[in-house]
Amino acid sequence: MSSGTLWRPLGVFFILLELIRAGISIPVAVNVRDTAVLSCNSTCNQEILWKFFEANGDKLEVLKCLQDNCTEGDDFKGRASLSSDNMSLTIHPVLFNDQGWYEARCGSGFLCSVHLEVFVPSAVNASVQDNVTLHCFARTEKRIADKAVNIIWKRDDQIILEVKNGIVHYGPGFQERSSVSLNHYKSGDLSLNISRVTPSDSGLYLCYHKSDEQGHPGAVKLTVTAQKCSYEKKVGGELTLNLFSLDNVQVTFTDFEGVEIPVCRVHGGTSMCDPKYNPRVSVMNDSLVLRELSSSDNGKFTVKDNMGEIMSVCTVTVKDVEQRHHITSVVIISVFVIVVIVGLFLLCQYLRKSDQPQIHLYFNARQSELEPLREPANIGLSQEETSQGILEQQEETSQGISEQPDVSHTPVEETCPEIGIITEKQEEAFDGLENE
């Protein structure tokens, strides 16, 4: 083995010893393409130099600054800058191979070192009160003893759950809501289970085993959104809102004009409500009940946790039953009126069509009364006898008319045919007389 090949691992070893001696800071974990800030709260009146240590021991220049003049290294062009109030280094956007150790020096003196971890996280989306599983896998021993299992889950440098020497430690707020399986660990499954998530659970979760080795994926981004609900209620009814907890929860109301007003604040099962709502509110089983609903309750009710995070947004519509019945009655009456009008119109059309035949029958009846036909008496007679008979009938008729006393007659309507109209058969009789 050559001296150069031997020197590289030794160089890395001595660098790590120096970093340990100087005090290693908390690692900075970011998603790929995000912004990383490597903090270094020191001062320097000389040249400032940030360097990056590659896995093979090479040192790459990240940023060199003298007073206000800074120059970026070739591998960090356009991505590195120095904070204006301290020696902190900002890298944006972060590339996947930016992961590793960074060191800051002032002149020839050591200032600080930071380890940057870059993740390509999987994404998990959930609603408030959902149960979620954040998956993570690693190559583990199949027959490892429980006391030798090592799992660490972090979020924003805060330990959520840690299994060390077979003992489980929980972060604040996760003691009764998070878990991992030791049996699954032997199969390579380090997944974290979280129950009843809240918006404050959102964040970047990091997965490790053997204290410092990343699982796969090394990070999971959890996003928890508020529950959405919609209710349609009747006037005088009740509304039940899920508070999710009785630990300092706030309920507000927003009308359709966007004006938000406080309704109640609940803490330890005790409610402190606005005087407008106080007589109508009660708290039961992690729920707030609002009674005697009216049209003024049309809008959105929002439930917020003790951190001000929105847990749920419920849209409420209160309908006036009497008004709805009135509208229904108006519609029914309107339909009835339309049906009657249409019926009368159709009846008029029918009568108009049947009116003309009825008048014709009326005229025939009048004519038959005024001048009854005597055809049956003349059947079988010759033309001469028929004509003489007609003349005798006319003479008798004239004598009968002259003998009758004067009688006032009711004027005949213009639409009726005149009495003196000669029928077709009478005209034939007169024609026969004239021919004689």
Task: Summarize pLDDT for 84-114 with one digit per residue, the tens.
Answer: 778 899 999 999 999 999 999 999 899 999 9
Asked if pLDDT for residue 233 goes beyond 60, the answer is yes
Q: What is the pLDDT of residue 322?
A: 53
pTM comes to 0.61
pLDDT exceeds cutoff 50 at 368 = no
Mean pLDDT of the residues in the chain: 80
pLDDT confidence of residue 327: 66
Mean pLDDT of 335-353: 85
- Whether 423 has a pLDDT exceeding 70, the answer reads no
Q: Quote the percentage of the chain above a pLDDT of 90.
A: 49
- Please, which pLDDT band fits residue 68 given cuts at 50, 70 and 90? confident
Mean pLDDT, residues 350-357 taken together: 70
Q: CA 142 to CA 183: how far, in whole Å?
A: 9
Which residues of the chain form CATH 2.60.40.10?
Answer: 21-119, 122-225, 227-319
pLDDT at residue 388 above 60?
A: no
Q: Which residues contact 31 (CB under 8 A, 6 or more apart)?
A: 94, 118, 119, 120, 121, 204, 219, 221
Calculate mean pLDDT across residues 189-208.
94
Supply the pLDDT for residue 431: 59
CATH superfamily, region 21-119: Immunoglobulins (2.60.40.10)
Indicate if the pLDDT at residue 29 is higher than 70.
yes
pLDDT value of position 334 = 86
Better pLDDT: 133 or 410: 133
Mean pLDDT of 392-412: 49
Quick one: average pLDDT of 1-26?
45
- Inform me whether the pLDDT recorded for 247 exceeds 90: no
- Strand blocks (E) in 171-226: 178-179, 192-194, 203-209, 213-225
> What is residue 177's three-state secondary structure?
coil
Evaluate if residue 257 carries a pLDDT over 80.
yes
Q: Give residue 12's pLDDT band: very low, low, confident or very high (50, 70, 90).
A: very low
Cα(66)–Cα(46) distance, rounded to whole angstroms?
Answer: 7
Is the pLDDT at 418 greater than 70? The verdict is no
Q: Kindly tell me the burial class for residue 49, based on how many C-beta atoms sit within 10 Å of its own C-beta (0-12, 13-18, 19 or more).
A: buried
Separation of CA 243 from chain center: 21
pLDDT band at 235 (very low <50, low <70, confident <90, very high): very high
pLDDT higher than 70, residue 66:
yes
The pLDDT value given to residue 127: 95
User: Do the beta carbons of residue 103 and residue 63 sit within 8 Å?
Assistant: no
pLDDT for residue 170: 96
CATH class of 227-319: mainly beta
pLDDT above 50: residue 366: no
Task: Report whether 25 contacts 38 (CB < 8 A).
Answer: no
Sheet containing strand 36-38, edge to edge, reads 36-38, 89-91, 80-82
Query: Per-residue confidence at 212, pLDDT binned at 50, 70, 90?
Result: confident
pLDDT bin (cut points 50, 70, 90) of residue 415 is very low
The CATH number assigned to the domain with range 122-225 reads: 2.60.40.10
> In a 3-state reduction of DSSP, which class is residue 31?
strand
